Structure 1
């Protein structure tokens, strides 16, 4: 029976980088290991990591895998803090185990999907003419001028946090940022900020007008 060790190592090789996020996005550089990302949140440069700290693993297939914050953020009542450095060995081992399990589940799903009509995509691609001209309506859309403000800057974590504090107060904002919400596909605002900050920002603005009460209140 083949050893499970090569499989485990192969799974982790699908991760090509990690990133650490704090409220002011002080760590834009990609990192090689989860430990390095954790040390960023533990450093003096990190700004309010206990409120919005995030670590994301980026896979070679283009997906992003947020690491659950309960591995590196300690929550006691209404207070929270990043785990102390002396706990890093334990935290890194736990995260590595979690990553292997998540990557293995994904591999199983993709393997099953690949057995369903595997040649279908190739057949469709063979039927396409890469040199065919674009339809008139597509060309017209591409040359259409801007109407209003279609392009806006994406809100930062700090923008979202400041509005959330104004709406809910600091204690409730901290809890809200880490609580799953039905309007965010049952994910926490902290996780959604990584992929869709405008959606989280819009939700906070709706709450400021009384359209939605804070989830769980």
Structure 2
């Protein structure tokens, strides 16, 4: 079942929308409920959701709150998978309870949550409006000449993931990609892979060299 409709004083009223993320960012639209975001990761359109899947709740004050992956990713030994649809009622109820508790707290987690994903509330609002103009940074990118826009043989996000899995194995690669890294200004590789996949690829290669020499 979807998250219950919040009452007047319910902290869930501060949630504006949800978004589901996979490696190829195939679900850019804001969603009304957590269940809808979960169903995106469960769908056949999701790319490696067990490795890269994330669900984020966006708040009306502009902050973003990541839903802990243990609610919707099952890990067993060296394998992982998105929870099956028959578990959705239980998962939605558990996430609803967690969200209420998290939103009632003024914790560091919530205060820093807006750094989890670059999409801000105004961008989500624009995505809801098909007539909204494209953001300035997107227009600048589209108007840029070919020279300088692309680097020949630059690794794509899939290349980075494949290299990470080859070096570390699926479980460790998944954990490494979601852990803050000091050489990425404290951001996780999974976030920086969107901005600078070459840098993340270099770090994966460095891990491979260290393992080979270790």
Report which of the two structures shows the higher radius of gyration computed on alpha carbons: 1
Post-superposition offset of 1:6: 4.2
Residue 202 and residue 12 in structure 1: after superposition, are their counterparts in 2 closer, same or farther (change >3 A)? same
Preserved CA contact (<8 Å) 1:165 1:173: yes
SS at match of 2:80: strand
Distance in 2, Cα, partners of 1:182 & 1:62: 25
**How many residue pairs align between the two structures?**
169
Preserved CA contact (<8 Å) 1:78 1:175: no
Distance in 2, Cα, partners of 1:175 & 1:73: 12
Q: Which moved more, 1:204-213 or 1:69-78?
A: 204-213
Preserved CA contact (<8 Å) 2:167 2:207: no
| Residue 58 of structure 2: aligned partner | 58
SS at match of 2:9: helix
Preserved CA contact (<8 Å) 1:25 1:157: no
* RMSD over aligned Cα atoms: 3.8
Post-superposition offset of 1:93: 0.7
| Residue 9 of structure 2: aligned partner | 7
SS at match of 1:61: coil
| Residue 30 of structure 1: aligned partner | 30
Preserved CA contact (<8 Å) 1:12 1:99: yes
Give the TM-score normalised by the residue count of structure 1: 0.62
| Residue 116 of structure 1: aligned partner | none
SS at match of 1:28: coil
| Residue 49 of structure 2: aligned partner | 49
Distance in 1, Cα, partners of 2:169 & 2:180: 18
SS at match of 2:100: helix
Preserved CA contact (<8 Å) 1:15 1:57: yes
> Unaligned stretches of 5+ in structure 2?
1-5, 111-147
Distance in 2, Cα, partners of 1:25 & 1:182: 22
Give the TM-score normalised by the residue count of structure 2: 0.63
| Residue 209 of structure 1: aligned partner | 206
Q: How does 1:1-217 map to 2 (within 5 A)?
A: 6-8=8-10, 11-106=11-106, 157-158=157-158, 160-178=160-178, 180-181=179-180, 183=182, 189-190=189-190, 192=191, 197-198=194-195, 202-210=199-207
Post-superposition offset of 1:211: 9.5
> Unaligned stretches of 5+ in structure 1?
111-148
